[in-house]
Structure 1
């Protein structure tokens, strides 16, 4: 395919999954089918951990608007699931995901890098589109989702700290001059999330001008892909 229309702003990828439970099922299926050392499997486990945590918070009533949070989580996950489906079927996934797909078996890339590259692709490109998808699903505007966006974001930041602790080598194996130290410290989930919120507002404002919306999305996609390639620079 020369163009991937499902990644354009007007189309979305609705229908891949219907609820958070279905998202978790698909991610668990990926986990069972991929070798743990596969770079995509590393990210998938990170994302599965996050999604399971969000699912528990939804079930416990931690979010005032459960419908909005569930819809945002599902629309967000669809972007990742559809990218994987495109890769498996021989299609052309978004540029932001291609570095991870291309380097997932590279022996010189460390688990922390795979996790960051996947998070970068998903936050740097997919999240803004998911906000727009959710607004269309619920018939609202981004401003109506801001509280849910922030609550989920706070949880993601806390989980990122745990992920860094789990995937970064211990001090006995990682010297301060190690390139991984600089790569891990150069990328910020918080800054990426802030940029995604701004991008979602821009895309929403451009929804009546599809050519401009698609141009903006494509440049956002390319930028996330470039960052992903830097994050996957072999460190050993």
Structure 2
């Protein structure tokens, strides 16, 4: 789709295992991609979020910072894997497919692409990332735990960052202005990072309970993908 896609694919061959490596991959994606690539704007926003998480974790104030660090890595790997599979024309969640397949549609706004990625990553991926991290750490995801409290303590920071990004990204992919009034404002207005992350944690607890029932876990995961796909398609309706 873009001439530099082989560079992106080569970059994604080695999964990151630390937050600095995650940041390095995102920074390289940012340097490779052009403004007319919708991927750039989701990656740009996700880079801001990850830098904010790293700063908060490094500054302390969390009961289990190792959990948040591992979650950050597991979470990012789902994005990188989805992008790699798209570039290889291999199966990937449909909620990611709708974004990646639209990444060269210059009628879209940067904020639409960024939020379509956030939708796929939070409404689909985050539950799986929490579940995987808990398995690695040997703990159970549950409300009221120190891990849940650390997880929710990030919400204020992330909500503030998202609100700020809405202003920066309110342009078409190539940088031209959007119409003074369009459906984009209405579509984006209802987004709440805190609410989406809370729902993702709830879903991680369900996934945990379904560990011994793989077929049902698969159906549940497919349902998450289906809902996120519908939202993604709504977010990616081009502005007039």
TM-score interval (norm. to shorter): 0.7 to 0.9
User: Which moves more between the two structures, 154-163 or 79-88?
Assistant: 154-163
- Aligned ranges 1:138-177 → 2 under 5 Å: 138-143=137-142, 144=145, 145-168=147-170, 175=180, 177=181
CA RMSD of aligned residues (A): 1.7
Q: Extract unaligned runs of 5+ from structure 2.
A: 1-13, 172-176
Aligned match of 2:192: 188
Answering whether residue 106 of structure 2 is matched by residue 112 of structure 1, we say no
Detail structure 1 runs of 4+ shifted over 2 Å in the superposition.
152-155, 172-175, 186-191
Report the secondary structure of 1:32's partner residue.
helix
Q: Aligned-pair distance for 1:61? A: 1.5
Q: Aligned-pair distance for 1:173? A: 5.9
User: Which moves more between the two structures, 113-122 or 56-65?
Assistant: 56-65
Q: Distance in 2 between matches of 1:155 and 1:111?
A: 22
Q: Distance in 2 between matches of 1:57 and 1:190?
A: 17
Aligned match of 2:10: none
Task: Judge conservation of contact 2:111–2:166 (CA < 8 Å) in 1.
Answer: yes
Post-superposition CA distance 1:141-168 (Å, at most 9, x none): 1124211210233322121111112223
Answering whether residue 222 of structure 2 is matched by residue 228 of structure 1, we say no
Aligned match of 1:89: 88
Q: Aligned-pair distance for 1:63? A: 2.4
Q: Distance in 2 between matches of 1:74 and 1:173?
A: 35
Q: Extract unaligned runs of 5+ from structure 1.
A: 1-14
- Aligned ranges 1:1-236 → 2 under 5 Å: 16-143=15-142, 144=145, 145-168=147-170, 175=180, 177-236=181-240
Aligned match of 2:3: none
Q: Aligned-pair distance for 1:189? A: 2.5
Q: Distance in 2 between matches of 1:151 and 1:20?
A: 19
Q: Aligned-pair distance for 1:174? A: 5.0
Task: Judge conservation of contact 2:78–2:125 (CA < 8 Å) in 1.
Answer: yes
Task: Judge conservation of contact 2:16–2:77 (CA < 8 Å) in 1.
Answer: yes
Q: Distance in 2 between matches of 1:133 and 1:152?
A: 19
Report the secondary structure of 1:97's partner residue.
helix
Question: Are residues 59 and 188 of structure 1, via their aligned partners in 2, closer, same or farther at CA, if it must alter by over 3 Å?
Answer: closer
Q: Aligned-pair distance for 1:187? A: 3.3
